[in-house]
Copies of this chain bind each other. A is one copy, B any other.
Amino acid sequence: MFTDEYFMRQALREAESAYDKDEVPVGAVVVIENKIIAKAYNQVELLNDATAHAEMLALTAAFNFLGTKYLPDAILYVTDEPCLMCCGALYWGKVGRIVYGASDEKNGFQKFTSINPFHQKAIITKGVLQEECAFLMKSFFKNKR
Contact = CB atoms under 8 A, between A and B. Distances in A.
Interface of A: 44-45, 47-51, 53, 56, 59-60, 63-64, 67-70, 83-89, 91-94, 112-115, 117
A60 B69 CA distance: 19
Nearest to A113: B113
Contacts of A48: 63-64, 67-69
Nearest to A70: B50
B60 A49 contact: yes
Contact of A112 (B59, B60, B70, B115): B115
Contacts of A114: 114
B59 A89 contact: no
Contact of A93 (B45, B51, B113): B51
Contacts of A115: 112
Nearest to A90: B85
Nearest to A83: B88
